[in-house]
Amino acid sequence: MLLINQALRDLPDEMAPQLYNAAIAFEMQFTQEQFEQYIIAYRPTHAVIEFGSDIAPFTNAPTAAGFQRRLMRLLDRLEDAGVEPILQTGYPLPGGTRHAQRLLAAYNSTLRQVAVQRQYRLADVASRMTQTGGEAMVHDRTNIPTHEGYRLIAQCLLEAMGYPGAKVPGELQLDLLPGVIRDWKYRLLPEEEGLSPEEAGSLEPDDAWLDLNLPQEDRFNSRLAHPSHSFGYQSRARGFARHLFHGEPGTVQAIAYLEASEARDVFFNTGATLKTIWLNGQQIYSAADRWTGWHPGKERVPAQLRKGDNVIVVESGNSFFLSVTDTLDWPLPRYSGGQN
């Protein structure tokens, strides 16, 4: 999405698509309530469907027939809501088992057939990667695309979206995402014990707490020849706090202060391993051991800021993302910097 967003930066605002990474990370057997909350709430006109490479390696991955049933249910829901699907075949899995590779091939075959039958747009990433020696575009240990692999995926999607002439950038230009809270104090607790309402409401940092200023300085990745190819660099530049501790698992407690000129309704946007959010002593969010993805804005929590100072306390693993926006449906910001 970042590559596509930057590739379209020269389009006038009124002609450029707004790109959202809003849906939670769920398997295909989601509920109607989840569909409405995480997809329809953003009033999309188009939705890219690309489950295959993510689910084929798992032991509980659906059979080819099960994949088709779930795919068709999703597509019917999208059509009923007036959302046009764009289908994307899954990229190769060089490190996957033979079973996973066979499943993925079957999933991709289904996607191609459905695209023809329903006259959907198709970004055939699998075929394009195969034609260009694609296994070198996916890490064989993690089954995650390389930077060049992501560039090829972005190019396929741009063509499917109707922008065949758009040039995918070689390097990413990155900005903080909207509403990122930049200044924090934090501490690490070895125990995974949650805050009580009384503790959250009375938390006061002392000299033992550490400063956290975002975006974090990335001393390692900034020395690379191509730092924007690194996921760690990309996430920090967009406002993630990462590697807050090393070694044994623990819990990070962090506190920040946000001033509001007047009381207003907002949304708290979560990401990474954020566990809880407390606003002025009241808990407004708990992940409750439910994994919904790592990406920014995976959950968008409605809340109200009071006039004056607002105290925000979070608990997380060794990484978190938190921003505050006035609207639910904020897209990726249009990049306005110079040319690559």
DSSP-derived 3-state class of residue 294: coil
- For the chain, the residue count is 340
**pLDDT for 209 beyond 70:** yes
Dihedral sign of CA atoms 237, 234, 293, 43 in order: positive
Q: Which amino acid appears at position 209 of this protein?
A: W
Torsion of CA 228, 229, 231, 235, to 10 degrees: 10
Region 186-202 average pLDDT: 87
DSSP-derived 3-state class of residue 29: coil
Q: Give the position of tokens 């938390």.
A: 203
The model's pLDDT over 216-271, given as tens digits with 9 standing for 90+, comes to 988 887 788 888 998 899 999 999 999 998 877 789 999 999 999 999 999 999 99
Contact partners, residue 34, CB within 8 Å, separation at least 6: 24, 26
Domain boundaries, the chain: 2-161, 183-325
Note whether 74 and 38 are within 8 A (CB).
Answer: no
Contact partners, residue 180, CB within 8 Å, separation at least 6: 214, 238, 239, 321, 322, 323
77, containing H or E segment:
helix 64-80
Question: Do 183-325 and 2-161 fall under one CATH topology?
Answer: no
Which CATH fold topology does 183-325 show?
Answer: Jelly Rolls (2.60.120)
pTM for the predicted model, two decimal places: 0.89
Q: Work out the burial of residue 165: count CB atoms within 10 Å of its CB; fewer than 13 is exposed, 13-18 middle, 19 or more buried.
A: exposed
Note whether 48 and 157 are within 8 A (CB).
Answer: yes
% of the chain beyond a pLDDT of 70: 96
Contact partners, residue 30, CB within 8 Å, separation at least 6: none
The model's pLDDT over 4-19, given as tens digits with 9 standing for 90+, comes to 999 999 999 889 899 9
138 DSSP assignment:
B
**pLDDT for 340 beyond 70:** no
The closest alpha carbon to 132, from 150, 146, 152, 147, belongs to 152
Specify the CATH number for 2-161; select among 3.40.50.1010, 3.10.180.10, 3.40.50.1110, 3.40.50.720.
Answer: 3.40.50.1110
Region 152-181 average pLDDT: 95
pLDDT grade for 134, boundaries at 50, 70 and 90: low
